[in-house]
């Protein structure tokens, strides 16, 4: 009998969230599952880690028949503790995170605890996927995502994920319209336009709630936002190397960071009269 792949599951909504239960159900069809997830909600935690405080890790009863642990830390902490403490010499074949309650498309990848678990796994050299559902409703329905979660997971195990990359998968909200398919995309240049809801506490002291609207400024057809708007599942491969090679060239040519070592413009070669903006 072929050995079942070992799949580590985490999330950021906490171990009792419906999304991780859908994800575990699908993963049990594919492999041997171990769950290490936060013991409570960790949404918006970005790539936070716990360094000024202690961490707890306890066996969890959240899943029948699945080895599972709940952790007091962030999603990134969960993956670190899973690798170094829970799994030790059992190297997972895949790390999956989610299914997040709410979108992690576009710029939300930076704020996302779901994706930080996946990116932490990629840093550790493990293939990883974060799954999110673009639905902020209370009684959220994950059922339409299951076949696509299974398809993408099986392909990741079969074909691999390039090193240094984690996949950011987002699903359109369930609707009467069927899912159009799966598109590999780039991250849209969209952003949250924040507003702060200013209130006064019972003592008359001011406090704020962060709120705002997601606005897509990107007209590209090849973005995750465009795919989701057309009812596709979006897959964005995300790298943890944040270097902008373009900006390295700009700084080396336009700035003068070592004025004593090399006078401004000394190494410039003029080849044509055309100046690029």
> Which residues, 186 to 215, sit near a copy of itself by CB under 8 A?
186-187, 189, 191, 194-196, 198-199, 205-210
φ, ψ of residue 77 to 5 degrees: the values are -60, -45
Query: Distances in Å between the alpha carbon of 167 and those of 96, 109, 184, 201, 238?
Result: 10, 11, 10, 42, 6
Q: How far is the CB of 23 from a copy of itself (least distance, A)?
A: 19
Which CB atom, from 54 or from 65, has the smaller least distance to a copy of itself? 54
Q: How far is the CB of 26 from a copy of itself (least distance, A)?
A: 16
Which CB atom, from 137 or from 208, has the smaller least distance to a copy of itself? 208
Q: Per CB under 8 A, does 60 bind a copy of itself? A: no
Q: Tell which positions 240-259 bind a copy of itself, by CB under 8 A.
A: 240-248, 250-252, 254-259
Cβ atoms 166, 187 nearer than 8 A: no
Q: What angle do CA 133, 230, 114 make, to 5 degrees?
A: 20
What is the total count of residues that contact a copy of itself (CB under 8 A)? 81
- Per-residue binding string, a copy of itself, 64-103, x by CB under 8 A, is ------------xx--xx-xxx------------------
Query: Distances in Å between the alpha carbon of 9 and those of 21, 124, 189?
Result: 10, 15, 29
Q: Tell which positions 97-156 bind a copy of itself, by CB under 8 A.
A: 107, 109-111, 116, 119, 123-124, 151-152, 155
CA distance from start to end of the chain: 62
Has 104 been labeled as part of a binding site?
A: no
Which residue(s) pair with 199 in the sheet? 207
φ, ψ of residue 47 to 5 degrees: the values are -95, 35
Q: How far is the CB of 112 from a copy of itself (least distance, A)?
A: 9
For 158, the token pair is 């079969």
Cβ atoms 31, 93 nearer than 8 A: yes
Q: Per CB under 8 A, does 263 bind a copy of itself? A: no
Q: How far is the CB of 231 from a copy of itself (least distance, A)?
A: 13
Q: Which residues are annotated as a binding site?
A: 12-13, 43, 100
């Amino acid at each position: 009998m072929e050995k079942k792949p070992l799949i580590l599951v985490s999330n950021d909504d906490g171990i009792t969230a419906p999304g991780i239960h859908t994800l575990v159900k699908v993963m049990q069809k594919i492999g041997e599952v171990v769950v290490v997830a936060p013991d409570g909600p960790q949404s918006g935690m970005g790539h936070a880690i716990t360094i000024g405080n202690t961490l707890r890790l306890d066996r969890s009863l959240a899943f029948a028949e699945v080895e599972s642990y709940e952790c007091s830390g962030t999603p990134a902490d969960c993956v670190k503790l899973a690798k170094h403490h829970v799994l030790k010499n059992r190297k997972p074949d895949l790390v999956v995170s989610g299914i997040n309650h709410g979108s992690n498309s576009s710029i939300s990848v930076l704020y996302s605890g779901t994706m930080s678990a996946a990116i932490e796994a990629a840093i550790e050299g493990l293939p990883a996927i974060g799954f999110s559902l673009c639905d902020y409703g209370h009684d959220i329905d994950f059922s339409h995502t299951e076949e696509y979660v299974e398809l993408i997971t099986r392909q990741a195990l079969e074909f691999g994920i390039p090193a240094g990359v984690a996949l950011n998968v987002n699903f359109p909200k369930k609707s009467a319209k069927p899912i159009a398919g799966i598109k590999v995309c780039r991250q849209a240049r969209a952003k949250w336009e924040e507003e702060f809801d200013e209130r006064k506490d019972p003592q008359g002291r001011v406090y704020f709630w962060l709120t705002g609207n997601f606005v897509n400024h990107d007209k590209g057809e090849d973005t995750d936002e465009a795919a989701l708007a057309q009812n596709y599942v979006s897959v964005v491969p995300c790298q943890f190397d944040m270097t902008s090679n373009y900006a390295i060239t700009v700084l080396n040519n336009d700035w003068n960071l070592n004025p004593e070592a090399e006078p401004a413009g000394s190494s410039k070669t003029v080849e044509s009269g055309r100046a690029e903006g």
